[in-house]
């Protein structure tokens, strides 16, 4: 037993909770670490304890590692690696990393999954899912938060960490997204010697990002490193919607030129365009002290959509706004603000999208690392221009035109397909499909009339599109390509005349049919 009776007796309730998780083993430790990102589910004092969870364990002996690698790559170790370090450079509950050299001479880092760990985790997950089902059935808290679904979500994240091929794809995608930036370095993957349980990647070496003495000795500017650290996150989140979500110091090294090397891409955050728009609204509301906009952003994300929930949330958010009223961005701290925000969410018993909470947690963690490098660095000051530019991009006329055009096309396709779908439905009913047989007479004429009505609706939608589309695109063209205004004017006039012709055709058709 790792903890003595005296340790347990003197510990607080959150500390005992952490001790129990550590005693239960690697699965529960990993899930505890994941839960530590969910400030919307547990009080801050419990979250703080879960953040202390460490999954460092004794390394797997080299013979077992060799067997695992050979089994996965289907080749003897000597045919793949000219050299394979016997001692791991890092060891955790799911796997460990060995420095090696390929036969071709490239220095690599080889991440090897612990033999048998998947089986252990699956057994533990089965137990967790059973406990979650009981909690959901027998407790109000479990029913309200849907703890079964939460555990399934955590389990999916954990299984994702066990899939090293997925981690390799995450690395490739992240590196491609930030290929134009010279402040970040992501190892490339050697796919011919990578499998689900063995990940072979480029070995990058540098100074641990929080080793201030070594950074100073190397002549590296800690203030530039702090700024680069935050810039990488903001670019990956607000420009790509895909970010590294495990930013503890061990995953970051600093290389010459203040370049930051990033490792361990097992946990990633994703924001689709709709979620990103809601997140931007939240940040804009927080920056401007606009409670209504912050709450509207949350509602856009599906949070507090009921009038009663929204009213209570608005009241609590307004109190939070007053606490920060008049405080300059430079004096705001992400960790404090997000903790206060999570208290509001917890008090209102709201459940946030997991990727949103993961984003808040990632920003707060990166802020903590960057503050060690530069006490004057501020996440929100750096974030403000990114938020403004991203919001302008999402709400640009070009984006709106593309969205409107897409909606018009979808509506037209749906309307065009409707008569055929109704016809198939009637034919199916007539032939007896679906367990009943019936013959419907006299529907041919109404169906044909419905088809005409739908066709008119499609033409009407197109007529409106020919007018609205040019109206939306004019300001964008004037701003971006002023030299094209003459050509665009011709297209706009053409669209207008097409709209007039379609409208006249519809009027004539309606008059001829008597309505």
Q: Return d(Cα 320, Cα 67) in angstroms, integer.
A: 56
> What local confidence, expressed as pLDDT, does residue 495 receive?
64
pLDDT exceeds 60 at position 119:
yes
Report the mean per-residue pLDDT for the chain. Answer: 79
Q: What is the pLDDT of residues 297-313, one digit of tens each?
A: 888 888 766 766 677 88
Let me know how long the chain is: 515
Cα angle 15, 19, 25 (rounded to 5 degrees) comes to 150
- The secondary structure element, H or E, covering residue 471 is helix 444-480
Report yes or no: 304 and 349 within 8 Å, Cβ to Cβ.
no
| Cα separation values, 61 from 72, 108, 168, 294, Å | 17, 20, 25, 53
Q: Return d(Cα 258, Cα 183) in angstroms, integer.
A: 7
> What local confidence, expressed as pLDDT, does residue 1 receive?
46
Q: Return d(Cα 167, Cα 107) in angstroms, integer.
A: 19
- Selecting among 246, 309, 340, 444, the annotated active-site residue is 246
What are phi and psi for residue 415, nearest 5 degrees? -65, -40
Q: Is 192 a catalytic residue?
A: no
pLDDT band of 437, cuts 50, 70, 90: very low
State mean pLDDT over 393-417: 53
CA nearest neighbour of 40 among 144, 163, 177? 144
- The secondary structure element, H or E, covering residue 113 is strand 107-113
> What local confidence, expressed as pLDDT, does residue 62 receive?
94
Q: What is the pLDDT of residues 54-91, one digit of tens each?
A: 666 788 999 999 999 999 999 999 999 999 999 999 88
Greater pLDDT, 332 or 425:
332
Q: Return d(Cα 287, Cα 282) in angstroms, integer.
A: 9
| CB under 8 A, 24+ apart: contacts of 100-103 | 100/200, 102/190, 102/193, 102/200, 103/79
Please state, as a whole number, how many other Cβ atoms lie within 10 Å of the Cβ of residue 37: 26
Greater pLDDT, 248 or 305:
248
Cα angle 173, 178, 183 (rounded to 5 degrees) comes to 135
State mean pLDDT over 226-254: 89
- The secondary structure element, H or E, covering residue 475 is helix 444-480
> What local confidence, expressed as pLDDT, does residue 31 receive?
77
State mean pLDDT over 272-290: 83
pLDDT exceeds 80 at position 328:
no
- What's this model's pTM, rounded to 2 decimal places? 0.70
> What local confidence, expressed as pLDDT, does residue 414 receive?
55
Q: Return d(Cα 318, Cα 323) in angstroms, integer.
A: 9
Q: What is the pLDDT of residues 155-176, one digit of tens each?
A: 888 888 899 999 999 999 999 9
> What local confidence, expressed as pLDDT, does residue 104 receive?
93
CA nearest neighbour of 334 among 386, 371, 281? 371
Q: Return d(Cα 96, Cα 197) in angstroms, integer.
A: 11
Q: What is the pLDDT of residues 419-435, one digit of tens each?
A: 666 666 666 655 655 54
> What local confidence, expressed as pLDDT, does residue 464 receive?
61
For the segment(s) 56-120+161-204, the CATH number from 2.40.350, 1.10.3470, 3.30.160, 3.30.200 is: 3.30.200
Residue that is written with structure tokens 């969870």 in the block: 53
Give 324: exposed, middle or buried? Use CB within 10 Å, 0-12, 13-18, 19+.
Answer: middle
Q: Return d(Cα 430, Cα 474) in angstroms, integer.
A: 52
As a dihedral over the C-alpha atoms of residue 269, residue 271, residue 272, residue 275, rounded to 10 degrees, the angle is 150
């Amino acid at each position: 037993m790792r903890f003595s009776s005296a340790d347990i007796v003197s510990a607080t309730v959150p500390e005992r909770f952490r001790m129990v998780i550590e005693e239960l083993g690697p699965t529960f430790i990993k899930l505890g670490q994941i839960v530590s990102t969910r400030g919307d589910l547990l009080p801050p004092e419990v979250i703080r304890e879960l953040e202390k969870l460490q999954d460092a364990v004794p390394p797997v002996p080299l013979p077992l590692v060799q067997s695992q690698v050979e089994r996965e790559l289907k080749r003897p170790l000597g045919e793949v690696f000219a050299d394979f370090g016997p001692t791991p450079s890092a060891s955790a509950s799911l796997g460990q990393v060995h420095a090696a050299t390929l036969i071709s001479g490239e220095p690599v880092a080889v991440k090897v999954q612990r033999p048998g760990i998947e089986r252990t985790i699956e057994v533990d997950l089965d137990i967790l899912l059973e406990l979650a089902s009981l909690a959901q059935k027998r407790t109000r808290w479990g029913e309200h938060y849907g703890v079964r679904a939460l555990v399934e979500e955590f389990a999916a994240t954990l299984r994702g960490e066990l899939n090293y091929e997925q981690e390799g794809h995450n690395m490739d995608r992240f590196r491609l997204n930030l290929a134009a930036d010279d402040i970040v370095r992501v190892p490339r993957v050697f796919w011919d010697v990578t499998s689900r349980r063995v990940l072979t990647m480029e070995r990058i070496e540098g100074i641990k990002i929080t080793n201030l003495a070594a950074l100073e000795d190397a002549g590296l500017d800690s203030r530039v490193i702090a700024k680069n650290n935050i810039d990488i996150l903001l670019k990956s989140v607000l420009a790509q919607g895909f970010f590294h979500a495990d930013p503890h110091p061990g995953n970051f090294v600093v290389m010459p030129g203040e370049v930051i090397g990033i490792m361990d891409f097992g946990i990633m955050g994703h924001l689709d365009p709709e979620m990103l728009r809601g997140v931007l609204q939240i940040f804009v509301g927080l920056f401007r002290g606009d409670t209504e906009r912050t709450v509207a952003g949350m509602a856009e994300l599906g949070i507090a959509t009921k009038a009663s929930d929204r009213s209570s949330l608005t009241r609590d958010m307004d109190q939070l706004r007053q606490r920060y009223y008049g405080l300059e961005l430079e004096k705001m701290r992400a960790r404090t603000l997000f903790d206060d925000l999570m208290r509001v969410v917890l008090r209102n018993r709201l459940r946030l999208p997991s990727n949103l909470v993961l984003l808040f947690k990632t920003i707060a963690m990166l802020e903590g690392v960057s503050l060690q490098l530069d006490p004057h660095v501020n996440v929100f000051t750096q974030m403000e221009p990114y938020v403004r530019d991203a919001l302008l991009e999402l709400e640009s006329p070009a984006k709106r035109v593309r969205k409107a055009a897409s909606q018009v096309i979808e509506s037209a396709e749906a309307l065009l397909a409707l008569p055929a779908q109704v016809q198939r439905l009637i034919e199916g009913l007539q032939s007896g499909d679906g367990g009943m047989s019936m013959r419907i007479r006299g529907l041919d004429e109404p169906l044909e009339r419905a088809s005409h009505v739908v066709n008119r609706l499609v033409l009407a939608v197109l007529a409106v599109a020919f007018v609205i589309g040019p109206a939306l695109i004019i300001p964008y063209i004037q701003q971006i390509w002023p030299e094209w205004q003459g050509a665009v004017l011709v297209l706009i006039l053409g669209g207008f005349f097409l709209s007039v012709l379609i409208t006249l055709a519809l009027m004539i058709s309606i008059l001829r049919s008597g309505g």
